[in-house]
Amino acid sequence: MIPINGATGQEADLWQNGMTANVLRALSLVPDGLRDWRRLGAAQYLSFEGMANFVGQDDRAINRMQMELVAGRVSSYNECFY
């Protein structure tokens, strides 16, 4: 796993601000998989940058609160344990 402040060289693009969540550090074991996941998440949900910014996203059909409501309901429907 890449250290929290060790994303350098070919992995420097994994997180730009020098710090990241532990779940992303775990995914850094497969850097290309993490890059693909970031692109997919940005297209279907929110970019990493968008997750940190809760306001000013006028390009979405529903807002962040509505997305979280839908995600929670789907998780409940699928009987997710988390």
pLDDT digits (tens, 9 = 90+) for 24-73: 788 888 889 888 988 898 888 777 777 666 666 667 777 778 888 998 99
Q: Do 40 and 1 belong together in one domain? A: yes
Q: Do 40 and 3 belong together in one domain? A: yes
Helices (H), 16-78: 22-27, 31-44, 48-52, 64-77
CA–CA separation, 68 vs 2, rounded Å? 29
Q: Do 31 and 60 belong together in one domain? A: no
pLDDT of residue 79: 93
Q: Do 9 and 40 belong together in one domain? A: yes
Q: Considering the entire predicted model, what is its pTM?
A: 0.58
